Structure 1
């Protein structure tokens, strides 16, 4: 005859199972369900964690043109009123100088806020965001992939001479249309250094993205130029960039036509794709 549990034991088992399910649901319910993210890099990480459906307000960025159709886009910093219209329960900033004022206003509206600075290592940003969206396991997996990519890049560049790299952007100066170079405190700076290169913009004292003079570009003497695939046409294309950017034609990079083109997110965010991007750049810089 099949064995059966006494009725009291069966009832206790059902109660314990119900309590476990309730605890699991409660844990997930603590995670933010409507998120406003002010940094495109954070948006990319949240998407990679499988929580993009929770995003209700994100920056307008070419990386996400065909993705996350339900999320509202903004071009300029949203006002407290436009933020409130999206009914977020969490607002995530990344740049204190630009975002702190809105975060302060959001707190007065009883919206939870967090500042996860974009200058933090990508693995740390992933860890923190994974906690806030309730995707800790997925966060660990993403961190592992990023660290593996970084390790491969370090192995590729070990013992190789460091290449002088200039990252050029058509959007770093906002809507001015001026060509800018990436300095310190940028995602490109971290990417270049990690791949075994030297960011000549930071070496020359540039902070974030700054406009460039012909004399400045020539004095930097980059051996390679790094651009995002999205911005390349605005910079003159693969052939025209050398004449489009003042002073660039007189550099070693132009003499050898050494142009490196990576995905927009890889160059600008150094976030979810940091491992693959670092490995790709290291291979391009150090593999004959």
Structure 2
């Protein structure tokens, strides 16, 4: 009711009673309680009378337009879904009184990726809030499994995945851990008191490496167009007369790019590497090795 009063000039007792499905007598009691809490409610007499809040007490609405409200609600709703955050839901309800009810929602967001365990995310966020040390097993990019003891600092969502930024006691330095690679995550009873400063690390690029990118030409069959567009959305595209798709992308040392090889193998027989020859050979060697595992079938 407070937020309704803040975002309207004057509201009658009957309008408020209808809005909240209560009697006008209940509205009068609620108004008295709001006044007792120190919020300056003004009573206006006459045909168009009712209740309002002193203008000096209100926030300038120009500071928070309908676009801002919609964006905030979208972000908070996605956050509340992942973390089951009741405070975020309360804020959403408040913001909804500011926005226009008839406005069509133009933005939707879902950061609760299927690639992340929401229970782990909630555990990590609680550990950050309570400043608890956590333990977990971690698989790094080299496929090495190590046990880590860290002081969690913050959760980050970037590149379509969740990461934990923490001070790793095992390495005595700050590290970013991809949540999907963390296993057996446990929040200990130990709390830490160290003050952690989150550094904004900018990604730097080696211009010399950028200059030595090679063209990779891929040919995708008709039944793999959507998957190809998802993986290589920024590549140069050419749709062929038979409905197939040829893509050209620039990759640093493509024959050594393990991530690229993994993606290409996921297409099965629906993709062919046209160029470079080195990558074609790597694909052939990998496929022959895979076939050798099924030689007795």
TM-score with structure 1 setting the length:
0.24
Structure ID, larger Rg: 2
| Bigger fraction of residues in strand | 2
Larger RCO: 1 or 2 (CA < 8 Å, sep 6+): 1
